[in-house]
Structure 1
Amino acid sequence: MTRLRHFKPAGKAIFKDSHTTKMKELLQQWEPGMTSTFAIAGVPLSKLSISHSGASFAPDAIRAALQSYTTFAGDTGLEFTDNILDFGDIYMDPTDIIGDQQRTYEGLRDVYASEAAKWWMVLGGDHSISYSSIKACSEQYGKVGVIQFDAHHDLRNVEDGGPTNGTPFRRLLEDHVIRGENLVQIGIRDFTNAKEYAKFADEQGVMVYSMQDVDRNSMGRILEKEIDRLEKQVDILYLSVDIDVLDQAFAPGCPAIGPGGMDSKTLLEGIYFASRHEKVKLMDIVEIDPTIDFRNMTSRVAVYCMLNFMKAKKFS
């Protein structure tokens, strides 16, 4: 029998430094009864996008990008050792789009009800998934406050196109899942929204901060003010991170790229600042299209968002 030398299983022939652990090595497929500090679930849905989008490929691209980062947080001198439970991806029917949203809601409701983790990260998919996730979250944890990092209001009417990635927060408001005063939108950009939806946000009591507000007031001051207000009126806080809040220079793999957005450092600082609060329980990351990305830049930003969320929770 011929003996093969120097071979490893396909996909495993990766350089290994004996003193270095990569974040991807902490991923562990969840099985009933398992518990850990953090868990992820993928929602590979992008057929509801009103623009061309391959965001359905993002959960796996983000998981792969975990290999780019080590488990050591240098500024704290501490290291992640807990497994990150991976619930896998929710099944998406190729034609039953409305059913996919219902399955997302039911699947994430089961995930949250498992109580397998203290803190959750949901990997989209387009922004339509946030409706299902926040609805499921509200049934598990109570009254939800949402901090939305986004260039868009996502308050489009449903009549013109059904439930799309432009409608999740309008649906959440109209279905009374959340209240307007418990929704904070940060990073809204000029020339990306309609006047009617800015008016709707105002009528609903949504707290809206434009990119100009972020530049004038700083991310930290905005979040400090809004979290101090929200913590008195909600049971938990949910971070919804639409990657198109970033300037196109920092997120080339985003379906709705545009100039005038946030730099990645500002977003990462915002996620870290917010996540230090005890009421922040979940975060979703949406609107990444790996098929148009450059050198996985955008997926790597998504992973760094996850790491800042985890670092704030674990080491603050």
Structure 2
Amino acid sequence: MREAFYRFTPDPRSGKAFTELLAHTFDLGDLRLKRTLEASQEHFGRLMAPLLREGKLLVILGGGHETAYAHFLAYVHAEQSVHILNWDAHADVRPLRDGKAHSGSPFRQALIHPSKRCRSYTVAGLLPHSVAPEHLHFLHEQHAHYVWRDALTADRITDLYHQAHAPLMVSFDLDAVDQAFAPGVSAPSIDGLDPEHWLQAAYEAGRCPAVRSIDLVECNPRLDRDRQTVRLAALTLWTFFCGLAERIF
């Protein structure tokens, strides 16, 4: 697996493609937050929608997992239906609190959104001790799919992308990674994914032609240890872009 995963590293053509990709990559800056989370999510969705209509590939960084709902709203405002793949130790389909959104509710909100723009939802990396029976019941009701962490072999990760429908929105929650490698998150995971499988998921997301956008969330430097999580987040992006360079060039 390791030799297969890193096969692009010694190929000089890959380095050239990666450099070419970076030359066509633009940083749009930070989002200026509104007074409420809901207003910020709506604002973000409206800002990103024109880019989706133009066929741009979006990479969204930072925040808690509530960012994923803002990410989904970009498709709503672009009037594009989307499939969602979430790499996470939790299903993140918790009910709203007093009608308010939070980091545990984004995919419930997407699944029940009146626009019906969420065509399917798959969460991969679930830990049995981190998922309530009520959440699994909700996933069954919504015909959503889930994959337990123990079932995520290298082949299974690849298959999730090969079987994906376009357009695909991919969400990377760093708390899916074992806390030994990603301590700087709001809900550290015992027995989470190892970095090799996590990075394979990022690499395959870059290569997969169905993927139109990704987000990378839940990195909290204040909770980090020796910048382990920050470095993993940076490596996740680098690995995604390596896969994307292969796809585009």
- Using the size of structure 2 for normalisation, the TM-score is 0.85
After superposition, residues 159-308 of structure 1 pair within 5 angstroms as: 159-160=97-98, 162-175=100-113, 176-179=116-119, 182-214=120-152, 218-224=153-159, 226-231=160-165, 235-308=166-239
Alpha-carbon spacing, 1:314–1:141, altered in 2? closer, same or farther (3 Å): farther
After superposition, residues 10-89 of structure 1 pair within 5 angstroms as: 74-77=9-12, 78-79=15-16, 80-81=18-19, 82-83=22-23, 84-89=25-30
Alpha-carbon spacing, 1:219–1:205, altered in 2? closer, same or farther (3 Å): farther
Stretches (4+) displaced over 4 A = none
Alpha-carbon spacing, 1:104–1:185, altered in 2? closer, same or farther (3 Å): same
Number of residues of Structure 1 aligned to a counterpart in Structure 2: 232
| 1:147 counterpart SS class | strand
Query: What CA distance in whole angstroms lies between the structure 2 residues aligned with 1:141 and 1:196?
Result: 31
User: Which stretch of structure 1 is more off in the superposition, 272-281 or 239-248?
Assistant: 272-281
Shift of 1:308: 1.5
The aligned counterpart of 1:91 is 32
Shift of 1:305: 1.4
Report % sequence identity: 28
Q: Which has the larger radius of gyration?
A: 1
Query: What CA distance in whole angstroms lies between the structure 2 residues aligned with 1:190 and 1:142?
Result: 33
Query: What CA distance in whole angstroms lies between the structure 1 residues aligned with 2:112 and 2:33?
Result: 25
The letter for the 2-side match of 1:201 is L
The structure where strand makes up a greater share of residues is 1
Show structure 2 runs of 5+ residues with no match.
1-7
Query: What CA distance in whole angstroms lies between the structure 1 residues aligned with 2:246 and 2:136?
Result: 38
The aligned counterpart of 2:242 is 311
Q: C-alpha deviations, 1:179-234, integer Å up to 9, x for none?
A: 3xx211110012112110111111211110011212xxx1432441x334432xxx
Shift of 1:172: 0.4
Query: What CA distance in whole angstroms lies between the structure 1 residues aligned with 2:76 and 2:103?
Result: 20
Query: What CA distance in whole angstroms lies between the structure 2 residues aligned with 1:257 and 1:185?
Result: 17
Query: What CA distance in whole angstroms lies between the structure 2 residues aligned with 1:89 and 1:194?
Result: 34
Q: Does 1:109 pair with 2:49?
A: yes
Show structure 1 runs of 5+ residues with no match.
1-72
Shift of 1:100: 1.7
Contact 2:41 2:73 in 1 (8 A): no
